[in-house]
Amino acid sequence: MNNALVQNTKYRRDIMRALALFTFTGGLLFCTLNFIRGLYFLAALELAYSLFSIFLWFIIPKTPHLSRWILWYIIPFFIVMMFALSLPATSDAIFVWVLTIPLLAYLLLGRRLGFWVSLIFIFLGIIAYHLRFIDSSHSFSLNAAISINITLSALLVMIIAHVYELNRDKNENRLIELAGTDQLTGLPNRMKLDTSFQHISSLAKRHKIDFTLILIDIDFFKSINDQYGHDVGDEALCYIANFLNKNVRESDFLARFGGEEFALFITSTEPNQANQHIENIREMLSQSPFLNGDITINITLSAGLATYGKDGTNLESLLKKADERLYQAKHNGRNCIVFD
């Protein structure tokens, strides 16, 4: 998930760098033309914006404040458009640039903020166009046709941009969900575990609540694969995953850590209570054999616990401590829990 978010940020950085370079070049060109035409204030704005754009081109690749810089780029850019459209000496061809507003807003700001920015500036652009270019000497039908064409073309571009961004969001979220899901068991995987830890640890720190990390290992699982084959082993893993998932609270987080290991975050519970909870699960699992046709397999688990704060404040240290205690549980004969 983190990789997906990084990729999404890189995509916006690449667009911003391309736009900054384009704006720098185009701004210098229009600055020169408008200076020749005597539009000195507009030429000065375009020159200033060109210099700002080349400044952005250098800082965009590394800045941690990408969204802030995007806003500082895009809002003045649209304001300059509106200003140029309202000047008496400009032509109606400048409205073509207004049609780029939804595309830029949605690509750089996302669906929600992009919608509102697009709506505001498209509305202002249409108003400015009507005030500047609708000629009262023309017939009502001609003015109506021009007005409808301008309005519908602007709205069409905005609708297309909105639908595209909506579907892109859905597809990206789906890919992120798939990337964070174990294909065999349907549980979250190690990547999702890392992301969830950031969220849970932030809540624990902010609200001063306890949470415990538990590493769970299925005892002698290799012998199931060796004796009955990997197909039965996979079905046994799915059975165990469903059993664990049904017996943890909705507020807890269960993931397949890898192989026959699972990781569980138990939140808002003291370590002793977390130990008792996993002890109850261990006992219930030992009394719930896995049935596959004529095959009956007794399954037990071993687990090691680590407490946030006492045993560490980052995932690596908690995993290390929980793994040490899991190893101790196996050394003690398996089918047991070690939490201290």
Q: Tokens 């978010």 sit at which residue? A: 5
CB atoms within 10 A of CB 188: 20
Q: What is the pLDDT of residues 74-93, one digit of tens each?
A: 998 899 889 888 888 777 88
Integer Cα distance of 248 and 263 in angstroms: 12
**pLDDT mean over 95-110:** 88
pLDDT digits (tens, 9 = 90+) for 209-228: 778 999 999 999 999 999 99
Average pLDDT over residues 184-195: 89
pLDDT tens digits for 129-147? Answer: 888 888 777 788 888 888 8
Full 3-state SS string of 116-185: HHHHHHHHHHHHHHHHHHCCCCCCHHHHHHHHHHHHHHHHHHHHHHHHHHHHHHHHHHHHHHHHCECCCC
Geometric angle at alpha carbon 194, from 192 and 196, rounded to 5°? 65
**177 pLDDT exceeds 60?**
yes
pLDDT of residue 8: 62
The tens digit of pLDDT for each residue in 9-23 reads: 788 888 899 999 999
- Look up residue 189 and give its DSSP letter: -
Per-residue pLDDT at 190 exceeds 60? yes
Q: In 3D, which of 36, 19, 32, 30 has the Cα closest to residue 83?
A: 30
0.75 surpassed by pTM: no
Is the pLDDT confidence value at 29 over 90?
yes
Ordered by where they begin, the domains of the chain are 2-179 (no CATH), 190-338 (3.30.70.270)
Catalytic site positions: 260
Cα 182 to Cα 178: distance, rounded to the nearest angstrom: 8
Give the mean model confidence (pLDDT) for residues 192-220: 87
Average pLDDT of 235-247?
95
Q: Which residue has the higher pLDDT, 278 or 340?
A: 278
pLDDT at 4 over 80: no
Q: How far is it, in rounded angstroms, from Cα 322 to Cα 304?
A: 5
Q: What is residue 297's predicted lDDT score, i.e. its pLDDT?
A: 93
DSSP secondary structure code for residue 188 in this structure: B
At residue 7, does pLDDT exceed 70?
no
The reported pLDDT for the residue numbered 90 is 78
